[in-house]
Amino acid sequence: MISRRRVALISLLAVLLIIPWLSGRAAQEQKPEQKPEQKQEQKKPKKPRAIRVLFIGGSFIYYNNLPDIFAKLAMAGGAGMVETGMVALPGWSLKDHWQKGDAHRVLRDSNWNFVVLQDQSLVGKDANPEGPPGGALEAFRPFARNWAQVVQDVGAVPVFFLTWARQDAPDGQAILNSAYFSVAKEVEAKVAGVGLAWAQVQKGHPEIELYAGDGINPSPAGSYLAACAIYATMFGRNPEGVPAKFGGRPVNLETGKVESEKLQFLVDLPPAQAKVLQQAAWEAKRLLDKKHGYLDVSGAPKQ
């Protein structure tokens, strides 16, 4: 017969073994079920980083809202998202932007990847009698250098917008080439050969109207050609095949200010015409590639 002491000892051992088991089971039952989203935190896809491009210059930039055309063209061409800024006023040169206005502040207030620099058309025409000795060309050189330097100082790439000659002074293209390429090579800046592509289209396809009615500023086709040339230079991509119909915000031609409450077609070209402009822009880029980015202008006219 089992003694009472042994029975009590066996009962105590059983209790000591059962309590931990019950405690562990209770803890498992009380633990909340982990939701699927808690098991593995879902990472939100990062928004693609936009390429930021600032345009500084005059009416060649704000006519037809070139920055807007360029941004849409770059996106359509596969270069990615582009955000643009613009500091452009009627008749302003790089000297004007250096000495007054908002360009310095805008440049330093944001992180830009590229800065497009355009001077007034007088650089390729006769000397400005109201300007400094040597005319607009001599005024261009020091301030082009200055701007290229400050753009590089903030970590952006300067891109000179080689402009076109005025309709009544086609020989001015040689002067423009000399001015832009000599400075760009000196400061190791890029050159978008808009003027080279423009001259090619004028020669081979005079039926395409690149000039606005004043014979100086660009028509929508002229702005589209400029956008293609800048796109080819900046991204190294052939613009052939990109759309040639873009809507956007127009610019008041008297003030150079974007009319943000309005929307209209900035450019709408027939496919055949667009192809000519795309090919001219790419040919200008290929020509400069063969010359390591710069034309030899050592024997060019000096005005």
Q: Count Cβ neighbours within 10 Å for each residue of 37-73 and write b for 16 or more, e otherwise.
A: eeeeeeeeeeeeeebbbbbbbbbbbbbbbbbbbbbbb
Within a 10 A sphere around the Cβ of 122, how many other Cβ atoms?
20
pLDDT in tens, the chain (303 residues): 455 655 455 554 444 445 444 445 544 444 445 554 444 556 665 666 899 999 999 999 999 999 999 999 999 999 999 999 999 999 999 999 999 999 999 999 999 999 999 998 777 665 443 444 456 777 899 999 999 999 999 999 999 999 999 999 999 999 999 999 999 999 999 999 999 999 999 999 999 999 999 999 999 999 999 999 999 999 999 999 999 999 999 999 988 889 878 899 999 999 999 999 999 999 999 999 999 999 998 765 555
Question: What's the predicted TM-score (pTM) here?
Answer: 0.82
Residues 268 and 23: their CA atoms lie apart, in Å, by 77
Contact 57, 118 (CB under 8 A): yes
Residues 122 and 128: their CA atoms lie apart, in Å, by 7
Contact 252, 271 (CB under 8 A): no
Residues 90 and 206: their CA atoms lie apart, in Å, by 27
At 119 the three-state DSSP class reads coil
What domains does the chain contain, in order, with CATH numbers?
51-290 (3.40.50.1110)
Residues 249 and 165: their CA atoms lie apart, in Å, by 27
* Three-state DSSP string of 16-29: HHHHHHHHHHHHHH
